[in-house]
Amino acid sequence: MSLDSQTLDSPFDLEKDKYIETPWSIIESYFKGQHLQRLVRHQLESYNNFVGYQINKTIEMFNPVHIASEQDYDAKLGKHALEIFITFENFHIYRPQIQENNGATKLMFPQEARLRNFTYACAMTVDINIKFVVRNGEGLENVQTFYKTLPKIHIGKLPIMLNSNICVLTQYKHVEHANTGECKFDAGGYFIINGSEKTVLGQERAAENKVYCFNVSKNNTKYTWQAEIKSVPDYKCISPKQINMMISSKNNGFGFPIYLQLPRVKQPIPLFIVFRALGVISDKDICEIIILNIESSKHEEMMKGLQASIIDANGYMNKDECIRYITSHVMYTPINMDKETGIKKKYDFTMDILNNDLFPHCNNAKQKLYFLGYMANRLLQANYNWVKQDDRDSYLNKRIDLTGALLNNLFRNYFNKLVKDMEKQIIKEINTGSWKSTDDYQNIINQTNIYKIIKSTTIENGIKRALSTGDFGIKHVNSNKVGVAQVLNRLTYVSSLSHARRISTPTDKSGKLIPPRKLHNTTWGFLCPAETPEGQSVGVVKNLSYMTHVTIHSNSMPIYEYIMPHIIDIQTLTPIEMFEKTKVFVNGAWIGITETPTELFKMLKEKKYKGIINVYAGIVFDYKMNEIRVCNDSGRITRPILRVKDKNILVTSSIISKLNKNELTWDDLLTDCKIKESVIEYIDPEEQAWSMIAMKPEELSQPADSDKIFKHTHCEIHPSTIFGVLASCIPFPEHNQSPRNTYQCAQAKQAMGMYVTNFDTRMDKTAYVLSNPARPLVDTRIMDMIHINKIPSGFNAVVAIMSHTGYNQEDSLLFNKGSIDRGLFQATILHTEKDEDKQKINGDEEIRCKPDPNKTKGMKFANYNKVNGRGVIPENTLVENRDVIISKITPIKENRNDHTKVIKYEDQSRIYRTDEETYVDKNYIDRNGDGYNFAKVRIRAVRKPVIGDKFSSRSGQKGTLGNLIPEQDMPFTRSGLKPDLILNPHAIPSRMTIAQLKETILGKTLIELGLFGDGTSFGELDVKTICQKLQEVGYESNGNEIMYDALTGEQMECTVFLGPVFYQRLKHMVSDKQHSRSIGPMVNLTRQPAEGRSRDGGLRFGEMERDCMISHGASRFTRGRMYDASDKYQVHVCKKCGLIASYNDQMHIHHCRTCDNRTDFAYVEIPYACKLLFQELITMNIAPRVMTNY
């Protein structure tokens, strides 16, 4: 609650209230009662659409599958003796089940899937309808038809997204979270694959069905300008077909001709040849289709631009010649057929390209022709610089592929593979099956061989592989779809939320391209401006703002139905009639023109406001290009915004009071069903570009003397909606320098808190739990709405900003040892060790027990005393370094039945290495999905902050613990208050984190008032108000305090700024990183010390360190580090040939095998790695010779 806001029940008055409660009532109605679903809404909606609608569509697309064997083909008659038609119907999804070893089945809950490493997935079945057409008799005239249905054929398992429509948790909504084992704050939106949680990142891509013009002369010598379009129809899902139109850079005497590059065609085809192949023959008609009015004087230049293209195609003057020309360039090689068939097939292939691959999003031939003309027109306009070239990075031209779309692509590809395999297998059955003996056609496909024909593992393994490796490309096709699925980040609660809302651009991260990484203006309100990683993926990985919605596929038929009566269909028009008329596009297809564009635009907008057409549709009247564009495709990014009419927002006080009383919900605000007219509209970036949006309702009413008059179309609900979930948790982010907010977004993901409420029952690899987290004094409205305050990750510490003792320079923090002893920032670290039984080839089970030293070989140098009979240490037992935590043995097969051998087993135990006091927290032994036993052991360590641990405030002020000061030595205020930590004043001026200072004085006021404060961005609370309030409650107005030095008892010379700040303890701790070694393990190959902390390795003294030592002239020291302390080695070298000789140490015999020398040798000290290099060079016929002077 903010200090100067009123309570919700007071009479509502916009002027007096100064825009404090209105927007929040609206935003709160969005999250009310379903804040978790809202946060991962895009994931759930996309997946539900995939399961409920797209899978069915995709399967229907393959119907019917026609199968005929080439063996019974009669070439003379052109008929097959047997044809099979297969249709897939009645697709069905079942509940997820666990099949135990003893044959029992039970319902699978996500928690069990996590613990037992299952994949949380459900079975999919289809009914297979088969139609056999049998021809026999004279001339195969006698036709018989048989029908057969195989019901409920299993086609694989589909991983389930948690909390989606087919998830068990949704069906058991009424069950308490304690009983399902889930965390009540868990939003879902991720999958469980082999026990690990995977989330799918939205993938950014270029929008389809849009013409883009680019100048390609920089990196292309052949062409200067290029127009491109990725075309895909919206009614069925096929891969997009890219069509490029280029202007050649070679002058053919009349100018620069235009070429068209089609899919499945080897080289670009001259533009006019394509027009003639489509049936427009005369040059004049073609020019008219491109320019619409060739008489107009302003189009003279365009006509000149087409001259070269006319000349280019003048050798091919009719349709057949042009089709023949294209046929000669298609990518088609006839295999196993005679010449005539080959020519016919190739011609069919060409016609298929022209019909299906050229602008498949256009519904009829006329639309295709005019669209081709439109594309050429756009290209010429860009060429003459009449219009600007398109911006690849603009969000007008971007779409986001969500989980559903990505899975649908996978499903389509693997289902296609399944159908192809099925065809092959059935042809095999037809040719070699046992049915022939009885001529029982019905028996070709039966219950026994159906699973040989339809392999249920194809789809299952394909999708599982994609989700577990994150590689969504199809095998053997090099695609940059790597890292699409990632292991859900479970460090803190907000890091999991943020991970589910992440958007990635599939580009090469190491690329030096700068423009794609910049914050583009068109992303205002859609993507968070602060939350992006630092380093190589900056600007490539982004996050959705907290009110953003990504559209899913929806039916466009209603839009066509409402538009068609109000426009002139393109099929009935001549080019001259279209000249200077407004073009109408729906999903990128040019469907006609309109005489009354403003009326049509208003009518469509009205329909959208009423919810008659999709409320997420984008409707734009582009009066510069004179086009009306309606977009309804999936993957557009949209956000809600207040509508404005007659310089007023349409929200009234009665609507607000109804929202507060729960009489209206968020969805009621989008249409006019329950209110007079809709008050909120969802707009996409393209609509935003053609709107005038006010930041606050006050901006709508301009003063009369204002020289600028804006016609506002919309108003922001609240400016803070531009931030994502993480940046919304920063108090007063508008008072920080931009990178500080970005840093805080990165720190918040690493803060310790309570990452889930059920951490006690989970077995995560590593988990950090803060022992006593506290709700921040200064929070934001969003934190309240999405209940982050109930599961916080930090503590309100009293911070003094001062220099003291010098141990807090360079971002160090001084801590009060007394506070830490009382439990400040104490945390529990949980670490899980997992041990799975591998299946041995000889089939011997591994046994978990305490090994008998007399019967077991290979026992480790470790302490076996703590393990019990089950092979694990009992819970709450102290575990020290080199204790065995999981002991298991495998039987030695050869010795099993041999009574002479005592040793029957081999030791396979797991040793735990630690430097701290740890306890076994929990043991979990069970069987996994493959029926093997496994054990998970969770180990607990309690850590207090020590010197070197990392902390951070919410303004990106990170620092390490520099020293612990005993409580009696801490400086204190006149009331005896001692700060918890002391921050160096140098951290403030250059970083300009004013938000932290504002948070401090507000927090100080709040403690006296017993309230929580509102630190929402762009709020109304200014520093002056806080200072006044602070003075009222009895403090100095700027938050400064007189302090006394505890060491001398004297008053300090100047006052100290002191107050509470919310600090976070981060996961980077010294005890995880400290490392040193003297002697230790070596690498066998080079005989140098190993590398890395986990291998107890050495610290590398590298080339640059060597250079420094040489520059100091410290030759002995250099030799000591690089030779004596690393890989010391000696060789004997033959003085005649300079190669390494053989040497017998005991008998002191030398022999050089190269030149048979036995007397003349030198003793040389070289590093072992150097000797190895010499030997490896010798294998390549290069002889490094060592020449000595003595």
Which residues are tagged catalytic?
Answer: 811
In sequence order, the 6+-apart residues with CB closer than 8 A to the CB of 996 are: 953, 954, 955, 957, 988, 1061
Q: Give the span between the Cα atoms of 105 and 101, in whole angstroms.
A: 9
Contact call for residues 109 and 168 (beta carbons, < 8 A):
yes
Please state the φ and ψ torsions of residue 18, each to the nearest 5 degrees. 45, 55
Identify the residue whose tokens are 């020290």.
880
Closest CA to 160 of 192, 113, 118, 201: 192
What distances in angstroms separate CA 658 from CA 652, 781, 921, one per listed residue?
10, 20, 51
The SS3 of residue 897 is coil
Q: Give the span between the Cα atoms of 304 and 247, in whole angstroms.
A: 13
Q: Which two tokens stand for residue 528?
A: 């968070």
Cis peptide before 64 (omega within 30 of 0): yes
Contact call for residues 1066 and 747 (beta carbons, < 8 A):
yes
Contact call for residues 802 and 958 (beta carbons, < 8 A):
no
- Report which secondary-structure segment, H or E, holds 192: strand 191-193
Question: Between β-strands 82-93 and 65-68, what pairing exists: parallel, antiparallel or unpaired?
Answer: antiparallel
Closest CA to 688 of 782, 548, 539: 548
Contact call for residues 142 and 719 (beta carbons, < 8 A):
no
Give me the DSSP letters along 1026-1055: HHHHHHHTTS-TTSEE-EE-TTT-PBPSS-
- Report which secondary-structure segment, H or E, holds 943: strand 933-943
Please state the φ and ψ torsions of residue 281, each to the nearest 5 degrees. -95, -50
Contact call for residues 586 and 627 (beta carbons, < 8 A):
no
Contact call for residues 849 and 886 (beta carbons, < 8 A):
no
Q: Give the span between the Cα atoms of 876 and 862, in whole angstroms.
A: 20
The SS3 of residue 486 is strand
Please state the φ and ψ torsions of residue 2, each to the nearest 5 degrees. -85, 160
Number of neighbouring beta carbons within 10 Å of residue 358: 20
Closest CA to 463 of 496, 483, 479, 485: 485
Helices (H), 74-199: 110-115, 168-171, 177-180
Q: Which two tokens stand for residue 1048?
A: 């001398």
Q: Give the span between the Cα atoms of 335 and 327, in whole angstroms.
A: 16
Contact call for residues 777 and 953 (beta carbons, < 8 A):
no
Q: Give the span between the Cα atoms of 115 and 834, in whole angstroms.
A: 11
In sequence order, the 6+-apart residues with CB closer than 8 A to the CB of 172 are: 180
Contact call for residues 865 and 912 (beta carbons, < 8 A):
no
Q: Give the span between the Cα atoms of 1058 and 1052, in whole angstroms.
A: 14
Q: Exposed (0-12), middle (13-18) or buried (19+): which is 49, by Cβ within 10 Å?
A: buried
What distances in angstroms separate CA 591 from CA 563, 568, 570, 587, 1082, one per listed residue?
10, 8, 6, 10, 73
